Chains A and B, each alone.
Chain A
Amino acid sequence: MRCLRRLLLVSLGVTAWALHESDVGVVDWNTKLIGVPLHGSPHTAPVFHGDYILTATGNNVLAALNATDGSIVWRSIYDAEDPIMAFSHHDNSVSSLSGPGGSTFRTYDLETGHLMLEKQLHSPLDGRLHEPQNLGISLLRSADSSLNSTSFFTLTNGDSVTHLDHETGETKWTWNSPDQGSLVMYSHVIAHPSTVYVVGFAKSFASYTLHVTTLSATTGEVIASVNIPANIKDGLSEFLAFSSSPGPTTTACIAWLEDGALKAALLTPDLKGKVLGLPGVKYDRIRDFGLSTNGQFLAITTGGAAHVMHLDPQTSSLRPIWEFGDVAPSKSRSDSHFVGSLSRNGEPRVARVYWSNVHSKAVHETLAIQLSEGKGSVSGFAFPFQTLDHGVVRHVAFDGASTGETHENSRVLLTTTTGSIQLWQHDKMQWVREEALASIQVAEFVELPEKKIVTSHTAVDEEGYFERLQRQLSDAKNLPKYLANFARRFATGSYATVSASAASSSAEDTLTRDAFGFRQIIVAATSHGKLFGIDSSNGQVLWSRVLGLGWAAKVGGTIIPVKMFVTRTVSDAEGPQIVLVTQRRADNTLIDTVLFHVNALTGEDVREEDLSTSRHALEGFDAVQGPLIDVYMLPSENRTIVMLDEYLQVRLYPETASSLAEFESFAPSIHLALRAGAPGLRQILGHQVGLNHELSQFYVAYPTWTMSLPQHEEIHAIVPNTRGPIASIGNVIGNRATLYKYLNPHLTIVLTSSPPSRTCGIYVLDVVKGSVIYHVSVPAAGGVCDVQATLTENWLVYQYFDDELPGVGQSKGYRVVSVEFYEGNGPDDKTKSSELSSYSNKTLQVTAYEQAFIMPHGITAMSPTSTKFGISTKDIIVANRKNSIQSIPRRLLNPRRPKQKPTSEEQEEMLVQYDAVLPDDARLVLSHNYEVANVRRIVTSPSLLESTSLVFVYGLDLFFTRIAPSGTFDVLSENFNKVQLVLTVAGLGIAIMVTKPMVRRKMLRERWYQ
């Protein structure tokens, strides 16, 4: 019975709108991304493996890309609490260590990405944090040819080594450092068929010394443990361990710098050896560049040259085999990236990539080393790296196997500061992936202008007869095409339909909207300093601009987008424009507020007068010297942007007399809620703005009310009401009474957490007076507040995980609570809340209807749909942890669903009986087969059709679709059968044609014989 009812419910919800298989890829698109590679450490940086590129990324994804076309072969998404620390690749598998201290070990199949093994090495709670994060974590596979088995040696937490079986993941032995990492921090592990060398630092006064322990590979017993006196200042750039295995034997060696002198020690199982010194040359730093298992590393001299060092296992000698000159950054060239790789026949190859200011090109040099002859040769070429579009090269991965006699096939993979990954083969870019899109911070929809009919009526008055004839003839040249088009359209009925793609079909791709306004531009700002304009009809990047750092370019810095405003739309003469408000965090710790004012159709700088200058990075406008407290846009003609700086001064953009006058007229009605107070004694302060010339030339916000939160309650987020057009101010209920919606425009949600009581708070505040309209305290599952909330009109929806076993329901699960606020004490009680003065006592006369529902899976983001006039019902769109986007029909979330069988009055209102469980129906899934992972935000935008709302979802992936919550009532139904109509009409026509002569004959005969 229950099942039946649920089925019925679902069908009710679904009938309004349904997804068809033929709509896939037409009304929606999906961009799968992996994120920007973690290039900071050789453990996680991109690396070539055959025709695959393996990398761990900033979005916590381990991925394999196809090196030929750049497509994702597979990816594995890790939880936020489980950061990827290191990965290593072998013949046909990829392994990773993740979690605090490297707590979890996983192995994947190289070709398919299927998870073969998952094993926890230690509890994540025991993980120790180091700086950098993956220090003290190492993963090594050793193939023991004598036993014909492969196994892993993992170094985790900097103090324990585990020997794992490759197939089963079974632990063969574990060795824990006796001092538990308090004295010695191990950072490197080198495996020898019979011995495992574990090398690390030991803390000493003001510097580090080295410590080596050797373990038996079969039992894990300690063979020897020796402290090597050294005087290392910086453990990351002055020390490394490497090995060389030309035959069956492995020679392990450690090298370090002591006061600029390079020292090395060859390791033997009993650790009896002596320290070698390389006199004469002073080195600045030494670095592993990818050939540490082949006996090579890079040492950079204080004089600015780079030496490729080589360990010869036969003679046990360490010496430089090649010198690269002029490595230090200078006026003519940038810093060089060195990367080593093995060629197909096992010879080392070293690639050096740098930017040459002289040629305005990137230069690639390849060093081929013939170890047997002790020779090397360098050859190079320049390639046209687009620094204006992609910033600066941050990391280079090199495919040594692609090198040959010439450079024709040599491949490098570049990771740039703007978050793009590029594969260059010789001097041609094969493909580029804009992975910055996996870290979009803010995004907005911008409408496109209508297609303009281009007329050639330039000087009609002055033209003569022939000229006019010529003009009209030239105008008529499109007539046959038009006629053919018309005939085809009439015959086939291929009009603009809601289920058709909104992408422009014509070859000349002009930026114009389609018939229903489904084609818009999504302007997205990423945290990698790049701004993108994306075509909403197919997901293609139309334009992109690099955000310039301004004066901070000298010291370096990052630009963090805060908010984006559409200041001009298509209806304005200037064309659509956006203003991006960012915080620029310079590396010298100064924070500034920078604005970028951009034409949304082309990405051109609006502020720049001279358009003739050559393309360069987008330069911002330093609006406020200092961080920003709050920013919003005045809802007026000019759409002035109001910023509140750290001294609560009001700064305007644009700073003109008209915008100031506009702000003055708005000033009395501006109310802000800002967080304040010391930790543990948090407050929310309400502010108004006023002008006092004695204190400041600007308007200054002053507090008007205070709401003190209970002790130790922390503010998580202040979420303003999502504003949109409101079509009706009330709901007519079954008995003809009206429930008037509580439409106070000053409502704001405040989400808090209170660790002592393990609860999360949800407040709905009136920001004018600070009065609490609604407050609820929900349990914090596992001490973490993961509450998602959205407020639209008078409707609040929030979700949390309920794990309170001793509660009333005694059940665990995700709860979705739907709350609606109505005026007064019940139906027909009207207080006119939308136009009421905020100081009226009546603003507190609110009735809240609420109902809780159970959801099977958690939600990461939610948002209501938005339509042009707000007449269509508002569905809630949620992104769940199953990596899909789902809509929850408003009907199911109506907080007034009756508990018993609906009466006729309730049926009239279309209410359905309450059922605690929200159906997990696949037909409500908007993203269908697509995987849309780690969604951070859902942006909805109206189209020209009242029925249809556009939905853009970003997180790791991008997804776009359109949804009609009340069905497409304003266009001809999808099911409308034109063929049937035409056939019926045609059939009738034929019937008339057939019967007409028959009737005429009959009548004639009747006349005759009358």
Chain B
Amino acid sequence: MKMMHTLSLLSLLLSWSSIVFALELNGYVQWNKLCPNYEALGSSRVLLDAGKMSGRVTRNGNFSIPDVPPGTYILSVLSHDHLFDHVRIDISSEPLPDVRSYVFGTPLLTPSSVSLPYPVVLIPRHQNKYFSPRESFNLLAMFQSPMMMIMVLTGGMMLAMPYIMKNLDPQTLEGLKGPQAKAANIQELMQSGDPRGRLSALLAAGEETKSSTPVIKSSAGPSTLQQRKGGKGNKRR
């Protein structure tokens, strides 16, 4: 009888020791803004290493992985749409596992000093965004680009110039006319194809720039220039 008793005690001890050496790992998913509930998370699994041991996340966010023998494990979450941090789990003969943060891809040689609470808390870190926005046509954006702005400005100036000129008072106009008229003159000569006249006009223009005084009246330009000026003046009077 006593023998029987010892035997049963022994078996009890054995079963107790087996309980100690395989632990149930518990944890839960902390709902947050990225993932507010089970519906958003979808069916997900929590894996140790390659997934030989795993547990599913239930509707209230809890999970448990039964019968985990001692060792060092990397805990990861298989979730279709959300990213979670990897966590390092060390299970020894102590009753509670050691949970530490783990930077993915780093060696396991030195455990991180950041100890995390047990049960394991998993926080959704990132929600997958699969799509890049299409670069669509936008009229406003098109006109906001500097190239477009320059084009529009020049176009506008070109159209508005005659009216601005008209509204300017005569004195400023006189001041402006000099270089403008010369430029027009050169253009005209180019078109008429008179090489001599073109040359002389160029020369005159060269002198003009050299003297750097835009007062036209004092300069002695070629006759064509004066004639043309006169013509314009006539009209204005």
Q: Which positions in A face B, CB cutoff 8 Å?
A: 14, 18-22, 24, 76-77, 79, 106, 109, 112-118, 120, 123, 781-782, 784, 786, 801, 803, 805, 809-814, 854, 856-858, 881-884, 916-917, 920, 922-923, 925, 928-929, 931, 974-975, 977, 979-980, 983, 991, 994-995, 998, 1009-1010
Contacts and interface: CB of A to CB of B under 8 A. Distances in A.
A971 to B, nearest CB: 16
A994 B162 CA distance: 14
28 contacts: A19-B131, A20-B132, A22-B134, A77-B43, A114-B39, A115-B43, A116-B58, A116-B59, A118-B58, A120-B67, A781-B52, A782-B50, A782-B52, A810-B107, A810-B108, A810-B109, A812-B74, A813-B74, A854-B104, A858-B51, A923-B129, A923-B130, A923-B131, A931-B42, A977-B137, A991-B155, A1009-B234, A1010-B228
B130 A928 contact: yes
B28 to A, nearest CB: 13
Interface string B66-85: 11000011101011110100
Given A114-B59, A781-B49, A881-B51, A812 B80 contact: no
Given A781-B49, A813-B74, A118 B56 contact: yes
A928 B59 CA distance: 24
Contacts of B105: 811, 813, 854, 916-917
Nearest to A125: B67
A801 B49 contact: yes
Given A76-B43, A917-B105, 15 more contacts: A18-B131, A21-B133, A22-B134, A79-B54, A109-B59, A112-B39, A114-B59, A115-B58, A781-B52, A856-B76, A858-B51, A922-B130, A923-B130, A991-B155, A998-B162
B59 to A, nearest CB: 4
B86 interface: yes
A883 B80 contact: yes
A24 B56 CA distance: 29
A1009 B80 contact: no
B67 A118 contact: no
Contact of A20 (B59, B74, B108, B133): B133
A93 to B, nearest CB: 11
A22 B81 CA distance: 19
Contacts of A782: 49-50, 52
B21 to A, nearest CB: 13
Contacts of A113: 43
A513 B108 CA distance: 54
A882 B78 CA distance: 5
B140 interface: no
B130 A925 contact: yes
A120 B59 contact: no
Given A805-B108, A1009-B231, A974 B51 contact: no
A905 to B, nearest CB: 28
A882 B50 CA distance: 13
B194 interface: no
B59 A922 contact: no
A115 B158 contact: no
B31 interface: no
Nearest to A23: B131
A803 B81 contact: no
B3 interface: no
Contact of B142 (A76, A916, A929, A980): A980
A120 B130 contact: no
B135 to A, nearest CB: 5
Interface in B151-195: 155, 158-159, 162
Contact of B49 (A24, A116, A803, A979): A803
Contacts of B76: 856-857
A810 B108 CA distance: 5
Interface of B: 38-39, 42-43, 49-52, 54-59, 63-64, 66-67, 72-74, 76, 78-81, 83, 86, 104-109, 128-135, 137, 142, 155, 158-159, 162, 228, 231-232, 234-235
B27 to A, nearest CB: 13
Contacts of A801: 49-50
Contacts of A916: 105
B130 A19 contact: yes
B197 to A, nearest CB: 13
Contacts of A883: 80
A995 B159 CA distance: 8
Contacts of A786: 50
Nearest to A924: B130
B57 A115 contact: yes
B130 A811 contact: no
B131 A120 contact: no
A847 B28 CA distance: 50
Chain A CB within 10 Å, residue with most, of B57, B128, B131, B158: B131
A76 B59 CA distance: 13
B16 to A, nearest CB: 16
Contact of B108 (A79, A812, A814, A882): A812
A115 B60 CA distance: 9
B108 A979 contact: no
A123 B50 contact: no
The 8 closest A-B pairs by CB, nearest first: A922-B128, A928-B130, A18-B132, A21-B131, A917-B105, A801-B50, A120-B66, A114-B59
Contacts of A19: 130-132
A974 B134 contact: yes
Contacts of B109: 810
Contacts of A1009: 231-232, 234-235
Contacts of A18: 131-132
A928 B231 contact: no
A980 B135 CA distance: 13
B129 A922 contact: yes
Nearest to A880: B78
A251 to B, nearest CB: 37
B51 to A, nearest CB: 7
Given A115-B58, A809-B107, A857 B131 contact: no
A157 B58 CA distance: 25
A118 B64 contact: yes
Nearest to A813: B74
A217 to B, nearest CB: 26
Nearest to A994: B159
A19 B39 CA distance: 25
Contact of A803 (B50, B59, B79, B131): B50
Nearest to B227: A1010
Nearest to B54: A79
Contacts of B108: 805, 810-812
Given A118-B64, A812-B108, A881-B51, A925 B86 contact: no
Contacts of A79: 54
B104 A917 contact: yes
Nearest to A82: B54
A979 B160 CA distance: 27
Contacts of B63: 118
A115 B80 contact: no
Contacts of B232: 1009
Contacts of A857: 76, 78
Nearest to B72: A805
Nearest to B74: A812
Contact of B80 (A21, A781, A884, A975): A884
Contacts of B83: 920
A454 to B, nearest CB: 38
B137 A979 contact: yes
Contacts of B231: 1009-1010
A115 B56 contact: yes
Contacts of A929: 81, 130
A967 to B, nearest CB: 13
Nearest to A117: B58
A741 B175 CA distance: 74
